[in-house]
Structure 1
């Protein structure tokens, strides 16, 4: 059993040395070969561990605990090395995939588009142009409607001003109290804000419609 422990220890040392070589040859042709060698040695040491398990179980209870600790430590080291190998392999696969995608991109960059691709591109351009024309016509209609609405609001404002003036003259003729006059003045002042607010809301809606179509 001691010879198996010694063999396992020697194999672990060899694997550590191979990892040092692997780090030096990252990106080179020797990288894959070193990875395969490490993988084979890990498989070999796992077989030794299986044999050691049998011997440890046959050990006397007084020695079994010490042998078990030694075997578990070696298994832990082997597991750590196996994880390191997989990490190296994942990084290599990622580099190879990136290189392959880069090559595909460079090859596609200088190829001529097929007639079908050109036809699809032209059809899409025509459809896009038609949609823009429809949007422009719709926007012109909205602007005309907004202009008419603003004109109507201005006319209504002038009408309200003339009506207020007539009412003030009429009320002055009747000799109403100052409180009633002040109430009418405040109402006229509030109506002015309502008018301006309506104009502002209308302009905001027109601006949002313009931004949506553009």
Structure 2
């Protein structure tokens, strides 16, 4: 089986499965933290960053696996791996959407707390501390989203490059086949030309021999008639 970056398709698939399990566990912990007081400690944002990193890694692995399963020669195996890779990619996308929804819930919750604190006029003491914690967490979550977006763009760019390389490889193969056809045609044409040249030489010899024979016959006839 083809190898990409020193790993086989099967090894890349196993790595992606392990990352999916890790990401699923991280999402469950984030949901638990959002409904508990510990969500104010910043653990939720740290988990979100880690989960987004795992999801981006899974998407990169899917891009590598997508390039590998296309090189499998047998169609049944190729179709099987195509379904496996598509399943991994769909699960990763589902996790990313869940994480986005979790982020939106967290933002809404922080906004409600801020509005409540402003209404109560508690700009000092505990409310100020809470607001500062939520501001820090909001910045961390936003940073995580920006990092994830950059990773997704890099993954999309890598996938486009691999597709371009595959397209160029197909074009080179087609050009090679055409070149071989031309060479074969030239080889046949060369053989035909050599046959024609030999035939011309034979024809010339026959022509000259005929001319000499005619000349001899005419001379002999003239002498005989005298």
Give the TM-score normalised by the residue count of structure 1: 0.49
> TM-score, normalization: structure 2?
0.46
Larger radius of gyration: 1
User: Highest relative contact order (Cα 8 Å, sep 6+), 1 or 2?
Assistant: 2
